[in-house]
A = this chain, B = another copy of it.
Amino acid sequence: MARLLKGAEAARAINENSLQMIEQLAGAGIRPCLGLVRVGEKEDDIAYERGIEKRCDGLGIRIEKHVLGEEASTDDVLEVIRRLNEDKDVHGVLLFRPLPRHIDAEKVQNALAAEKDVDGMTRASLNGILTGDDIGFPPCTPAACIRILEHFGIDPCGADVTVIGRSLVIGKPLALMLLGKNATVTICHTKTKDLASKARRADILIASAGKAGMVTEEFLQSGQTVIDVGINFGPDGKMCGDVDADAAERIAGAYTPVPGGVGAVTTSVLAEHVVKAAMRENGL
C-alpha cells in the first residue's frame, strides 16, 4: 500500500508560513492584496476563483476582483493590467487563462509587472526558472508539486525524475525547477518512444499529460513517488488524474490523490506568492 501524499497537509504548512509573514506585514501596516482578472464566465475559472477567495479570506489576504465581459478586447484587458501595475496596494495579480481567443494573450500576459506576476506568466518569471534568478514567481501548479515533495521529505537531489508532458504552464517549468533542485530530469511527450519504461525507471514520476488514467500499471515501479498533476473527468463524470489510482496504490511507494493532491496545494502556493510579493516590495 502506497503512502498517500495528501495535499491538505502540505497546504497547511504553507499557510502557516504565510500567516507568519502576514503578521510581519501587519506590523508594518501592510495587508497583502491579490488582484484577480477574469474575462468571461467560464465554469473552470469561477470554480478556481472560489477556491482562491476562500483561501485568501482564511489567511486575511484582500482580493480585488476585475471581471470583464466575454467580448472584452485586448486593450480592455491591458487597461486593467496597467491599472493594477500602478496600484501600490495590489501586490500580486492572477489572470485566469486561457483567455478568449480573440485576445492577444502574449501581449496581455507580458504587460504585467514581473514583480506582481504571482503565477509565472510573464517572460521574466519563466526566465527566472531557466536562469535561477529571483524575478517574478514560478507558475503555481509546478510550484505546488515541488512543495509537496518538500513537505513529505522526498528529496529530488540526485533522483531520476520523469516528467510526462511539456506544456509551458506545467511540464517545462516543473522539469527546470526539478533540475534546479539537482534532479536528473527526463522530459517525455507524445513523440516519446517506449514511454512506459521511461516512467517506470524514475524515482519520481510526474504525470502532467492531461489524459485520464494514461499512467497504468506498466508505467509504475515499486517504491516510486508518483505526482499526479492531471485534472480530468472520467466517463462516470468523476474527477480523476492522469494516473490509475488503484495501480498507484498497489505498486508505488507514495502518490498524490486526485482530488486532494496537487490541486489542494495550488491556492496555498498562490497565496504565499502574494504574501512574498508584498514582503519583497516592502523590503521585508
Residue from B124, B160, B172, B191 within 8 A of A184 (CB atoms): B191
CB distance from A60 to the nearest CB of B (A): 35
Report the copy number of this chain in the oligomer.
2
Check: A282 CB closer than 8 A to any chain B CB. Answer: no
Task: Give every chain B residue within 8 A of A182 (Cβ-Cβ).
Answer: 189, 191
Q: Please judge, given known A-B contacts A130-B130, A179-B166, whether A187 and B185 are in contact too, CB under 8 Å.
A: yes
Mark A180-212 against chain B: 1 for CB-CB distance below 8 A, else 0: 001011111101110000100000000000000
CB distance from A206 to the nearest CB of B (A): 14
Check: A232 CB closer than 8 A to any chain B CB. Answer: no
Interface SS of chain A: helix, strand, loop or mixed? mixed
Query: Which residues on A are within 8 Å of B, measured CB to CB?
Result: 106, 123-124, 126-127, 130-131, 133, 157-158, 160, 166, 168, 172, 175-176, 179, 182, 184-189, 191-193, 198
Q: List the 8 closest A-B pairs by CB distance, nearest first.
A: A182-B191, A186-B186, A184-B192, A123-B127, A158-B191, A127-B127, A185-B187, A184-B188
